[in-house]
Amino acid sequence: MDRVLSGLKPEKVFYYFEEISQIPRQSGKCRKISDYIVAFAKERGLYFLRDEMDNVLIRKAPTRPGEDRYVILQGHMDMVCEKSFDYEARHDFNKDGLKLCVLDDYIYAKGTTLGADDGIAVAYMLALLDDDTEEMPGIEAVFTVDEEDGMKGAVAFDTSGLLGKIFINLDHEVEGELLTCSAGGKRVKCTVPVRYDAAEGVAYDIIICGLAGGHSGMEIDKGRGNANLLLGRLLYVISKKMPYSLRYIGGGLTDSAIPREAKAEIIIDSKYIDTLEDIVERYSRIICDEFEGIEENMMIYAENKGNDSSICLDSVSMKKVSLLLNSVPDGIIKMSRKNEGLVRTSLNSGIMKLTENDFSLIITMRSLAESEKEALAGKIECLTEMIGGSYTEEYDYPAWEYEKDSKLRDTAFEAFQRLFGRNPKLRGFHAGLECGIFFKKMEGIDIISFGPDISNIHTPKEKLSISSAARVYEYLREVLKAL
């Protein structure tokens, strides 16, 4: 393999980041990356444990004389797998490694997500486990699977064998911030049964693409467009002006990302061609105006596919789909009153899919308050059932609650001051972290979370700052030595 990151420092961090970038590791398919981590432990004679989910624990004894304390480091192996629109056919996340590139201070992957969320944590932990140059406390490195799919790995992980009570999560994307709490979350599936009728006429593809997307927790406060709901809105506008038949609708790849692209296939009478194209053109101008300064690359267009005949949703099914897409809340539901700029409760309709039997919308809701999360879930359930659909909860994870007293937080704060000559920012976090699950499972655990600058995560524009990754690794080592 040609090394793209050779020469970058710290060498071991970027060596391991490039190694794992060549291993397919989408959520639900982490066996290969788990195998790599187990082989790493075996080669170095380190204690390891792998569970049935493919989570891995590696334990390294203290290298500091007289030390018997262990610090838990934690990050997840899996990554969100998204491709740019023009790269769709050229990358298979099931078998292809990422094509890493370096530009100035940044690492990115050509045409795909980079997986620095949370590959940089995996690289940090492997580099530390492979380094005996400094005296350190014992390290328990916990590598979890499927964080991006309901945190299933952390939920299944047996914490009873852990020796440490000090817990550092490495799944944050803003250097200089120490996280002190994070939101809980719930993923639900709203399913509406559908029926079909035959239709014929002129087929059109209605496409919304080029949106910024992003992490449905971290970027939900940016006011970015949701392609799924914008398409639902457009179809509703069309239905008020002319008849049409809907044979396909779909959008979004993962519930944890704001959907960037959505597509519908419709059939119309030829006499409505001009009407349809005029509606879509005007809608595009309106929506681009609404998102001016936010969605600079958004495209909304209709493409004539010629005469066609097909089975399409009947009128009742179309109405149910439209009601769901145009009634479900979107984005920020409530801001925190205590912490300025912090989202308290939000919702993201991440995936919509049409099959021969039903239309489904997969929604993620997040909240710092358990009661608000449950209340929002209840509203979605009521809405779905009123339309004649069914509501299913697919996963639910707890919030990581703020602790007034934290020796770890104090130590990390002082280490940051010492190393950089300024104070870190202490903040709560609207995105969900596995910290909440470990916080719930382990009584008396002391937790912080931090990481380097990673921008546009969960999108093909994701990039990792090289200099920030180096500084944060130095900072992690400083915190460990201070402990």
Residue-wise pLDDT for 91-132, tens only, equals 999 999 999 999 999 999 999 999 999 999 999 999 999 998
Q: For residues 458-465, give the mean pLDDT.
A: 94
95-134 burial string, b = 16+ CB within 10 Å, else e?
A: eebbbbeeeeebbbbebbbbbbbbbbbbbbbbbbbeeeee
Supply 399's token pair.
């919030």
Q: Is the pLDDT of residue 89 over 80?
A: no
**Residue 78 known to be catalytic:** yes
**Residue 148 known to be catalytic:** no
Structural contact between residues 369 and 356, judged by C-beta atoms closer than 8 angstroms: no
Phi, psi of 435 (to 5 degrees): -55, -40
Supply 187's token pair.
């993923």
Residue-wise pLDDT for 287-324, tens only, equals 999 999 999 999 999 999 999 999 999 999 999 999 99
Name the DSSP letter for residue 104: T
Q: Does pTM surpass 0.75? A: yes
Tell me how many degrees the CA angle 460-463-466 measures, rounded to the nearest 5. Answer: 160
Phi, psi of 426 (to 5 degrees): -95, 130
List the domains of the chain with CATH numbers: 11-175+450-482 (3.40.630.10), 187-397 (3.30.70.360)
Of 82, 147, 396, 478, which one is the catalytic site residue? 147
Of 18, 54, 78, 219, which one is the catalytic site residue? 78
The confidence band for 88, taking pLDDT boundaries of 50, 70 and 90, is low
pLDDT at 223: 95
Half-sphere exposure of 295 (CA within 13 A, CB side): 28
Residue-wise pLDDT for 141-150, tens only, equals 999 999 998 8
Could you tell me which residues come within 8 angstroms of residue 281 by beta carbon, excluding any fewer than 6 positions away? none
Residue-wise pLDDT for 322-362, tens only, equals 999 999 999 999 998 888 889 999 999 999 999 999 999 99
Residue 396 neighbours by CB distance under 10 Å: 18
Q: Is the pLDDT of residue 172 over 90?
A: yes
Q: Is the pLDDT of residue 85 over 80?
A: no
